[in-house]
Amino acid sequence: MKTDQYELYEYARKRIKQKKRVYFHFVLLFLVGLFLFVSTKVFHFNENANWHIWLITAWLFIFILHFIKVFITDRFMNKNWEREQIDRLVAMQEQKIAELNNQLNEEHPTK
């Protein structure tokens, strides 16, 4: 397998694994939330406190962060984005070095 094909394969495998974890996280959040709601309302377990709502809300917030990371952040800031940023920074550094060399040559010309 060529290097480019292998990188594409690894990227696809990683993305599928990330999405699979998000879906699992959602199903787990739903089932646990349902269990907490049922145990509180139907079985009257600690009915006076609203701890189940706070727990589900906190977990939902964590799930939203996980969703944003996988479907928004990682989608746009992938390996191609990293390469472009590295290439841009390297080009800026090379330009700065060339400017410094030109400035040095102007100040101290070689004979």
Of 20, 29, 38, 35, which Cα lies nearest the Cα of 62?
29
pLDDT at 58: 94
pLDDT at 111: 56
Residue ranges per structural domain of the chain:
3-76, 78-111
pLDDT in tens, 83-100: 888 889 999 999 999 999
DSSP H helices, 1-111, are: 3-41, 51-68, 74-76, 79-107
Report DSSP state, residue 47: T
pLDDT in tens, the chain (111 residues): 677 788 888 888 988 999 999 999 999 999 999 998 888 888 777 767 778 888 899 999 999 999 999 888 877 777 778 888 888 999 999 999 999 998 888 888 775
